[in-house]
Amino acid sequence: MAQHQFQTEVSQLLHLIIHSLYSNREIFLRELVSNASDALDKLKYLTVAEDAYKHLSFEPRIDISFDKDGKTLTVSDNGIGMNEGELADSLGTIARSGTKAFLEKLSADAKKDSNLIGQFGVGFYSAFMAAEKIEVISRKAAEEAAWKWSSDGKDGYDIEPYGRDSQGTTVILHLTEEGLEYANRWSIEDIIKRYSNHVAFPIYLTYDEKEYDDKGKEKGSKTKTDRINSGTALWRRAKSEIKDEDYKEFFKGLSSQFGHDQDDPLFYIHTKAEGTLEYTTLFFVPKKAPFDLYHVDYKPGVKLYIKRVFITDDDKELMPTWLRFVRGVIDSEDLPLNVSREILQQNKILFNIKNASVKKLLAEFKALADRAAAGDEEAKEKWETFVLQFNRPLKEGLYQDFGNRDAIQELVRFKSSSVEGWTGLADYVSRMNTATKLGRDQKNIYYITGGDEKTLRASPLLEAYRAKEIEVLIMDDEIDDIVIPSLHSYRQEKPGADGKTESQSWDLKAVNRSGADEELGEKEDKARLKEAEKEIKPVIEKIKKALGDRVKDVKLSRRLHDSPSCIVADENDPTLQMAQMLRAMGQSEMPDIKPILEVNGEHPIISRLKETEDEERIADIAGVLLDQALLVEGVKLKDPADFVKRLNRLLA
């Protein structure tokens, strides 16, 4: 017998499960059945696709039995099974970050909530909520040796050789006193029908049924085995036959296999396509973003079946990366059963199914947004949740998916300087010429990018736009600095008076870049600016000389009203915030980006520079003008001590 210690995080997890989690214990059975179904899926695929497994006698099933006197409950399957190494890897360690995330998520108030188990993919261990000891007897398909894994959840685990006639896994729970409530026919049937009725394989329950004579006196008992689930793949059934509760329970079972959220789905989309291609899809959008949504090694959420035969659940090619939050099933009638995962990546049939699925999802997202905009309260609540959870992945789609960019840009949302809550590009355009003081139609859509919403709203860069009552989109997501410049413009198409489609487009301009202020002035403003530039040129030259290579240029600003200075990026340079982000991502050799300093010619501080030739004082004022402009935009100063010294000298 080989004795092993649990991975540290697993030990912490088991301690919490045994001592803290006690609401809704019954989900342990759902998790064990889900694992068994997964093992059957994998072997079913291998018996079709690989010669080494085709000779196996395989009639997939899951068996459940209990012994109330012996205080045991047993779940058994004849699926793929595990060998010694796989038992240690699967039940003694957790390779992915699910356990760590689970432990971090458990606040004091959440420790009672066992539903978090399913959310973080640690389902097997939930059995310790009802068991004081667990034994797992398993034999890998196409191998002769069988093994027994056993543990009390405290002092590590043992693995030893054991006997088993055929492939598969048997999990024996030695129940606690509290766990004994599940050692009866009615509890097990109820749990299976609620959580696992949709499982595509038959689930059998073996139990002793009492027998009575004609007078109603008990005369003995006999052992019976009944099937307790319907076993029909939910996605294959007609939508008219499926209740809303059926979809919700299917989603929970599916989510537990992927190690994700156990809430009801936000919404679902069930499609059956017939014609050139025949396939069925059932997609769910969860209420909460999966915990690994922004992990490089995120687990994809869509399963591929071919004619109801499970093929894979870890192929990231089934959905584009920006839709990685979607959960569900694709079941194709046209793909060959023996297709390899490598071939799947270049398969034209799957490519077409994927494209059609993406367009269907986008259409459903747009329909939800339209219903919300029309005043549907339920749709509004769902849409706000959707935007809060998945706005950022949608923005990734703008950058990654050129073919669907027009549809995606109708869905992404931003904050605004003019309205409360979220707004879209179409909403911005609809308000564009109703309130501005430009005296003509606005030509561009304006936005500002940076670190956080509060800092951006207070930026001096917005002063002139506010004065002209021009709306500016507030983009405080770090990805905005990468994604939005790639759009260049926003285009709308509408039916014209003659029935033909008319197109209109607006350039997207970042107010923290040079050149974005051109629309702010009318013709007479430009003439006045030219005169002002001539008058302030000596001051500009003084500041340039004082700052030297700290800036790319110094200019008179058209966008400042109250503040003395601001910084902008050259049109061809990344912003300072973007440069910081790229360095944080590992691009350490990136050259320093020098900002353009803009100054307010009418501000008293600038006026003082006209009157002095004291080079030290000019250097101090110029340095403070630049440093305070950097600070206002959330940029970390390279030499804070120098800034303080200059400021103190000026104050003195």
Given a cut of 80, whether residue 20 has pLDDT beyond it is no
Classify burial at 387, counting beta carbons within 10 Å of its beta carbon; exposed 0-12, middle 13-18, buried 19 or more.
Answer: buried
Dump pLDDT digits (tens) for 382-417: 999 999 999 999 999 999 999 999 999 999 999 999
CA distance 326 to 296: 16
Q: Does domain 521-651 fall into CATH 1.20.120.790? A: yes
Give me the pLDDT at residue 302, please: 93
> What topology is assigned to 399-518 in CATH?
Rossmann fold (3.40.50)
CA distance 387 to 20: 34
Annotate 439-469 with three-state secondary structure.
CCCCCEEEEEECCCHHHHHCCHHHHHHHHCC
Instruction: Say which range, 248-257, 478-487, 540-549, has the weakest mean pLDDT.
Output: 248-257
To the nearest whole number, what is the mean pLDDT of the chain? 85
Question: For 133, phi and psi rounded to 5 degrees?
Answer: -155, 145
Please give the Cα distance from 387 to 379 (Å, whole number). Answer: 12
Contact present, 416 and 473 (Cβ < 8 Å) = yes
Contacts of 606 (CB under 8 A, 6+ apart): 536, 539, 564, 599, 600
Nearest to 14 by CA among 147, 128, 116: 128
Position 338 pLDDT exceeds 80: no
Q: Which string of DSSP letters, residue by residue, matches 203-249?
A: EEEEEEEEEE-TTS-EEEEEEEEEE-S----GGGS-GGG--HHHHHH
Q: Which amino acid is at 508?
A: L
Q: Under a CB-based contact definition with an 8 Å cutoff, are residues 91 and 231 in contact?
A: no
CA 439 to chain CA mean position, Å: 44
pLDDT band at 521 (very low <50, low <70, confident <90, very high): low
Q: Residue 191 above 80 pLDDT?
A: yes
Which pLDDT tens digit goes with each residue over 345-372? 788 999 999 999 999 999 999 999 999 9
252-285 per-residue burial string, b: 16 or more CB within 10 A, e: under 16: bbbbbbbbbbbbbbbbbbbbebeeeeebbbbbbb
Report the percent of the chain where pLDDT is more than 70.
86
pLDDT at 583: 65
Q: Which of 591, 610, 603 is nearest to 629 (CA)?
A: 603
Per-residue model confidence (pLDDT) at position 313: 80
Mean pLDDT is lowest, of 72-86, 134-148, 408-422, 465-479, for 465-479
CATH number of 2-227: 3.30.565.10
Q: If DSSP codes are grouped into helix, strand and coil, which group holds residue 316?
A: coil
Q: What is the pLDDT of residue 123?
A: 72
The Cα 152–Cα 288 span in angstroms is: 33
The pLDDT value given to residue 309: 74
Phi, psi for 585 (deg, rounded to 5): -85, 0
Domain boundaries, the chain: 2-227, 235-370, 399-518, 521-651
pLDDT class for 436, splitting at 50, 70, 90?
low
Q: What fold characterizes domain 235-370?
A: Ribosomal Protein S5; domain 2 (3.30.230)
Q: Please state whether the predicted TM-score (pTM) of the whole model is above 0.75.
A: no
